[in-house]
């Protein structure tokens, strides 16, 4: 499938890669991004700069909550909704209003604009909807009980997709990504911070004892899941998108030391509120119904992220 795509969050870490992937697959892409200052907007401009001269890409610098979505939806055959206030640990306190605006209100506004168009939606959800469970690996039919305000907003948006399906026939696929990494990874995320310390001589801060585990997903595997989801013919579904590279934070630091040759000191801090202990994606459903199969393992993926940081620091 190709045609015209609308990508929200187009200048972000995953969104910018997705725009490039869709353009190279023959799609004509409109990307919307409001360049929030959650991290340096200049960095987002750099993410999207490679598409600047492309006839198949146009960038709309607007907030989903105030732009004319109906106009941007004209002629579109699939919407990939990635715009969000991401980040688990900063979602407490006064910051929460940004999470409500970008994750809940913006999704509701998008669904309102889409509800009678017949255009399918691919929504970027999150493993954080599951919360802290001992019942591993996480399956799509497990109880959802987020432990961070961020996770609560990502789950609310999934619920909104379902409400618009039941009431208005809005088709959607929700992709629950598990800790995505690779070139352009957000600067607040663990690998970015660790690599920066290893290359630049700083210190690594570990929240908790470092034995917490994540099912890390290389960004190109997350893109593949989006492409496969755009071809999904059913009315709706929810799929885990994991990389099959479950490791602890301490294991990751070891690989980064080895690959960079750096030996940054590690400081252990208090466990962060809202962080889950472990994630582990059961991707059987995505494999069976989408044909999803991640291809990049942790060591190779980390090498590619380190290489990107070397080129961009």
Integer angstrom CA distances of residue 257 from 151, 261, 302: 31, 5, 11
Site for ligand UGA contains 238 (CB under 6 A)? no
Site for ligand UGA contains 189 (CB under 6 A)? yes
Q: Which two tokens stand for residue 56?
A: 């198949």
Q: Which residue number is nearest to ligand NAD in terms of Cβ?
A: 12
193 binds, among ligand UGA, ligand NAD, none (CB under 5 to 8 A by kind): ligand UGA
Is 101:65 a contact under the CB 8 Å cutoff? yes
Site for ligand UGA contains 127 (CB under 6 A)? yes
Site for ligand UGA contains 249 (CB under 6 A)? yes
Site for ligand NAD contains 240 (CB under 6 A)? no
**Given 130, 150, 164, 172, the catalytic residue:** 150
Please calculate the CA angle 204-205-206 and round it to the nearest 5 degrees: 115
- Which residue number, 281 or 306, has a Cβ lying nearer to ligand NAD? 281
Q: Which two tokens stand for residue 178?
A: 């598990």
CA dihedral over 31, 33, 39, 45, signed as positive or negative: positive
Site for ligand UGA contains 264 (CB under 6 A)? no
Is 57:29 a contact under the CB 8 Å cutoff? yes
Q: Which two tokens stand for residue 62?
A: 């607007």
Is 150 a catalytic site residue?
Answer: yes
Site for ligand NAD contains 226 (CB under 6 A)? no
- Which residue number, 27 or 177, has a Cβ lying nearer to ligand UGA? 177
Integer angstrom CA distances of residue 235 from 171, 229, 272, 294: 5, 11, 38, 24
Residues annotated as catalytic are 150
Binding site for ligand UGA (CB under 6 A): 86-88, 126-128, 177-179, 189-190, 193, 205-207, 212, 214, 249, 272, 275
């Amino acid at each position: 499938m190709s045609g015209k795509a609308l990508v929200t969050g187009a200048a972000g870490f995953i969104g910018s890669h997705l725009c490039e992937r869709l353009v190279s697959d023959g799609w004509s892409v409109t990307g919307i991004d409001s360049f929030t200052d959650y991290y340096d907007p200049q960095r987002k401009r750099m993410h999207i700069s490679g598409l600047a001269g492309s006839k198949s890409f146009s960038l709309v610098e607007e907030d989903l909550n105030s732009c004319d979505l109906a106009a941007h939806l004209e002629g579109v055959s699939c919407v990939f909704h990635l715009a969000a206030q991401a980040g688990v640990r900063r979602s407490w306190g006064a910051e929460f209003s940004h999470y409500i605006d970008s994750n809940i209100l913006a999704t509701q506004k998008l669904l309102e604009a889409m509800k009678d168009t017949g255009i399918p939606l691919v929504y970027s959800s999150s493993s954080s909807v599951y919360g802290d469970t001992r019942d591993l690996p996480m399956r799509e039919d497990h109880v959802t009980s987020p432990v961070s305000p961020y996770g609560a907003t990502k789950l609310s948006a999934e619920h909104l997709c379902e409400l618009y399906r039941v009431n208005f026939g809005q088709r959607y696929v929700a992709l629950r990504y598990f800790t995505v990494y690779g070139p352009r990874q957000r600067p607040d995320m663990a690998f970015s911070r660790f690599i920066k310390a290893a290359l630049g001589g700083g210190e690594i801060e570990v929240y908790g004892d470092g034995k917490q585990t994540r099912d890390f997903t290389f960004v190109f595997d997350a893109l593949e899941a989006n492409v496969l989801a755009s071809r999904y013919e059913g009315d709706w579904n929810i799929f885990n998108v994991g990389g099959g590279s479950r490791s602890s934070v301490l294991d990751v630091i070891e690989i980064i030391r080895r690959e960079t040759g750096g030996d940054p000191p590690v400081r252990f801090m208090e466990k962060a509120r809202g962080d889950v202990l472990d994630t582990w994606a059961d991707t059987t459903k995505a494999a069976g119904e989408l044909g999803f199969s991640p291809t990049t393992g942790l060591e190779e993926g980390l090498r590619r992220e380190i290489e990107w940081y070397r080129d961009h620091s």
